[in-house]
Amino acid sequence: MAQLLYGSPPTAFELDDRTLAHVEIVILAKLRRNESFALSLDRPDATRSTIWIGVHSDLHFSYNGARPDINRDWLERLIDSANSTSGLRIMPEGDAQ
């Protein structure tokens, strides 16, 4: 299981390596353009957390395995989500078909 670490001290959000690899690409692309946005993450305890990501956010991407192949269709759906008014929401990869 991979982790997105946010803040200082960091809060850990666990995601599978494949999901985090896609989310990382979206986050870094938006930050390169100085675009801030919300990221909503479903938690294992059936709650949801929303964090604000901007150029001054403390972020760390931690993986357990090798970087997986990128699904361009899923990536495009995630980018569209990040560009929406509600921010980035992670949808299952199968929904990207």
Beta bridge pairs of residue 42: 48
**pLDDT for 14-47, tens place per residue?**
999 999 999 999 999 999 999 999 999 988 788 9
Burial 16-32 (b: 16+ CB within 10 A, else e): ebbbbbbbbebbeebbe
Distance CA 88, CA 97 (A): 18
Tell me what the mean pLDDT of segment 57-71 comes to: 94
Total count of domains within the chain: 1
pTM above 0.75, yes or no: yes
Q: Which domain holds residue 92?
A: 2-96
